[in-house]
Amino acid sequence: MQSAPAASSVSQYAMRLGDDRLVLGHRLSEWCGHGPILEEDIALANIALDLIGQATLFLKLAGETEGKGRSEDDLAYFREAVEYRNIHLVELPKGDYAFTIVRQFLFDVFSYHLLEQLMKSANAEIAGIAAKGFKEVRYHVRHSSEWVLRLGDGTAESHSRAQKALDELWRFSSEMFEADSIDREMAAAGIGADLDALKPKWETVVRDVLTRATLTIPDDPPAMTRGRKGSHTEALGHMLSEMQIVARSHPGAGW
Amino acid sequence: MASSASVGVGYETSESPDKGETQWPLWEVFTQKDGGAPHEHAGSVHAPDAEIALQNARDVYGRRGGVVSLWVVPSNFITASPSDQAGPFFDPGAEKIYRHPQFYKIPRGLKGF
Amino acid sequence: MADTELVATVKFTPPWDDVANFFPPPRIRLEYGPEARTDCVNQQKTDNSETEALNAAFEARIAAGETIEPKDWMPDRYRTQLIRMMSQHAHSEIVGMLPEGNWITRAPSLKRKMVLLAKVQDEAGHGLYIYCGTETLGVDRAELVDQLLTGKAKYSSIFNYPTLSWADMGVIGWFVDGAAIVNQTVLAKASYGPYARAMIRICKEENFHKKQGYEIIATLAKGTPEQKAMAQDAVNRWWWPSLMMLGPSDTDSPNTAELMRWRVKRKTNDELRQRFIDLTVPQAEAVGLTLPDPELRYNPDTQHYDFGPIDWDEFWQVVKGNGPCNRERLQARRDAHENGRWVREAAEAYAAKHSSIPQSSAA
C-alpha cells in the first residue's frame, strides 16, 4: 500500500520542514537583546534555539537524502532565496511584538499538529526529529497562545496591535495546508502528514484562542504564495543576505 | 504617587521612576531535580501572573534540564522566620523574606496613619 | 477586602516576638531588647554606641567567614555598596548582550548560530539572577533599570566597543569572558548570600562561554589566510580594552580596601589583571596569534609576564561616556524598554482582569 517515494521527494519534504523552522528561528533571534522585558528575551531565545535545532536536523536529512554531498550548512548558507522551500508566513519581517507573537501562534499550532502526525512517519529519521520537536512545540504553543490572550485581552493598545497583526497575518495561514504533489506522495508513502486532516484541528484551536483573546478573525482570501516552489516575498532575500554574508565571503572555510 | 502598577501580587514596591513603570512583580522559584527530591529555592523571576511565572521559571531555571517540577510563589506571599541577625530595628515587614525597599506604598485606606 | 498583609503597616508586636528565641542561640549574640520600631531602616536615628556595637558584631561575622543574608543587620554603607556592585554587574550582563547579539543573524554556521544565541541568552539569565539578588536589598528592578537607562548607573566599559567582524565573537569569549571568570570565581564566596549564590550559578554556566570563544579563534587561526587575518585583527582591537576591563590600578580605586574587607572583592584589580595576562599569553601562542604589546615578555624572576603601559586616558574617556559605542548601547536599551512598555502593561492588565488573587485597591 505504501509506495517507495523518490529520494528527491523525501529530500524536498525534509527541506521544507527545515526551511520553515530555520527562517522562523532566525526571525525570532532578531529579538535577542531587544525584547520587551528580560524574561521574554530569554523565552524567545529558547524558542529560536529549538527551531534552529529542529531545522538543523531536517536540513541534514535533506542533504543526506539528496545525495549530492550538501551538508545542512551548505543548504542554509549557499542556497538562493528561490531555492528556499519555506512558507511566506515565517519569512515576514518580525514587526512589533504583537506581530511576532501572533505569527508564532499561528505557526506553533500548525507545527504541533504536524509533528504529532510525523512522529508516526514511516521514515525513521523524520519520526525521530518529530518526536524531539513535538516535546518542544508543546511548550512553544503554550507560550504563544498565552501571550496572544494577554495581548488581545490586555490593554486597548495591545488589543489594537494584536488585531492589526492578525489582520496582516491571517491570509498567510492557508499556505500551511496547501498540499501539492510532493505532500501527496509523502502522505501516500506514510512518510508525510495529511494536511487536509490537520487543517480542521488547527482551526479549532486557533479560533478558540483568538476568540478568548477578543480578537476578530479576518475574512480575507488567501495570499498568493508559492513558497514551497521557491516563490517568496522580497523580505526573504534581504534576510538571507544578512544571514549568509560571512559564510559566503569565505567559501569553503570551516567555522 | 506613581504606582508600580503591581496588581497586589508580589511586592507593593518602591516609588516608580516613571508613571506606570513596571518590571512586573517578583516571584520565588522552587525546583525539584528528580522524583523523591525536595523542591529547593532556585531564585526569583519577574512575572505578571502565575502562568507567565511558571513559564519564566522554566526558561530561566529549567532550560538546562535537571528539573522535573517547579513551584512559583509571589515573593510577598512567603512568610519567613525572623532573622536572628536582624538587629534591634524590627522592620514592620519583619516576616518577609527580603528587605522592604526604602519607600513603600500605603493603600489609600491607611493614609490616616 | 483589606490587603494590608501585602503592605508594610504599623503592627501590634506581641511581647513574645523576641527574635533571639526563634532559633537556638546564634554564635554571635547581639545584645538588644525587644523594642519594636515601625519605620523602615533609618539608622541615623540610633545612638552611636549602639551602632558601634552593631558594626563591630557585623565586622566580626565577616571576619569569621559568615554569610550575610538579606534580613541581617548590616551597615547602610555595606548595603549601598552591594547594591552598586551587584547592579553594575547585572547591567553589564544586559548591555553585554548587545555586542554579541550584533552577530547572531550573521553567524556563519548553524552550530555557531545556536551556540552564540545560547551564550547571549545566558547573559540575559545572568543579569536576571543578579538583578534578583540586588532586589533582596530593598530596591525594585524598575528602579535599577531606570538608573541604567538614564545614565546614572555604570556598566563594564568593555561593552562600549563595537564588534566589527565574526572573529570578535571568538575574542570576546576568550578575553572578555576570560577576564570575567578570573573575577567571578572569587565572587562565588562573597559575603552576601544572594550574590554568592547567583555567582555560583553563573560560574557553572560560564565555562562554556570562554571555551566556545577560544574555539572560534583557534578555528580561524588555523583556517584560511583571510580567517587568520580576521582573528589577528580582532585580537589587536580587543586586547587593551580587555586589560582595562579589570579596572584601574588599585591606587586609583578608592573602594577596593573596604570591599575586600567585606569579602565582596577578593583580589585587587592589578592581581586579577596579572592573572588574566599570565593565563592568556600561552593561549595566544598556542594558536599562533600575537598580542599587540611589544613589551610583553615572561619574567623568570617574578614568574609573571611583564607588560606595557595601559592608556588609562582611553579608559576614563570610555567610562565617562565617550567610548566608541556608549550612546548606541544605551539607546538600544532605551528603545527596547520604550518599545516594550505596552507589552509589559498589557500583561499586567490581563492579570488584573483574570487573576484570582486579591487585588490591591490602590492604583
What is the sign of the dihedral through the CA atoms of A235, A238, A241 and A243? negative
| CB-based burial label for C160 (10 Å; 0-12, 13-18, 19+) | buried
Q: Among B46, B48, B59, whose Cβ lies nearest the Cβ of A43?
A: B59
Average pLDDT on B86-111 reads 52
The C-alpha atoms of residue C289 and residue C281 are separated, in whole angstroms, by 10
Tell me the pLDDT of chain C averaged across its residues.
Answer: 86
Q: Among C36, C138, C354, whose Cβ lies nearest the Cβ of B101?
A: C138
Phi, psi of C28 (to 5 degrees): -110, 120
Q: Which residues share a beta bridge with B30?
A: B41, B71
- In 3D, which of C313, C314, C301, C315 has the Cα closest to residue C269? C315
Ramachandran region, residue C151 (left: φ > 0; alpha: ψ -120 to 50; beta: rest):
left
Q: Among B4, B21, B113, whose Cβ lies nearest the Cβ of C10?
A: B113
CB atoms within 10 A of CB B54: 20
Residues C187-238: tens digit of each pLDDT: 888 999 999 999 999 988 887 888 899 999 999 999 999 999 999 999 999 9
Q: Is the pLDDT of residue B20 over 70?
A: no
Residues B73-98: tens digit of each pLDDT: 999 898 888 777 776 655 555 567 77
Tell me the pLDDT of chain A averaged across its residues.
Answer: 96
CB atoms within 10 A of CB C321: 12
Q: Is the pLDDT of residue C358 over 80?
A: no
* Chain A: residue whose CA lies nearest to B23: A37
ipTM score: 0.97
Task: Give chains near C: 3+ CB pairs under 8 A.
Answer: A, B
Residue B89 carries which side chain, given as an amino acid letter?
A: F
Instruction: With beta carbons under 8 A apart, name residues in chain B contacting C153.
Output: none
Q: Could you tell me the domains of chain A? A: 7-249 (1.20.1260.10)
**Beta carbons of C30 and B85 less than 8 Å apart:** yes
Residues A83-130: tens digit of each pLDDT: 999 999 999 999 999 999 999 999 999 999 999 999 999 999 999 999
The C-alpha atoms of residue A44 and residue A58 are separated, in whole angstroms, by 21
Phi, psi of B42 (to 5 degrees): -105, -30
Residues C125-169: tens digit of each pLDDT: 999 999 999 999 999 999 999 999 999 999 999 999 999 999 999
Quick one: pLDDT band at residue B53, thresholds 50, 70, 90? very high
The C-alpha angle A167, A170, A171, rounded to 5 degrees, equals: 105
Q: Is the pLDDT of residue C18 over 60?
A: no
- Greater confidence (C31 vs A124) lies with A124
Residues A141-150: tens digit of each pLDDT: 999 999 999 9
Instruction: With beta carbons under 8 A apart, name residues in chain B contacting A46.
Output: 59, 63
| A142/B contact by beta carbon, under 8 A | yes
Q: What is the full DSSP assignment across C121-172?
A: HHHHHHHHHHHHHHHTTS--HHHHHHHHHTT-S---GGGGSPP-STHHHHHI
DSSP strand pairing (B69-74 vs B26-32): antiparallel
**Beta carbons of C108 and A247 less than 8 Å apart:** yes
B17: Cβ–Cβ under 8 A, 6 or more apart, which residues?
B2, C142, C143, C146, C150
Residues A25-83: tens digit of each pLDDT: 999 999 999 999 999 999 999 999 999 999 999 999 999 999 999 999 999 999 999 99
Q: Quote the pTM value.
A: 0.88
Quick one: pLDDT band at residue C16, thresholds 50, 70, 90? low
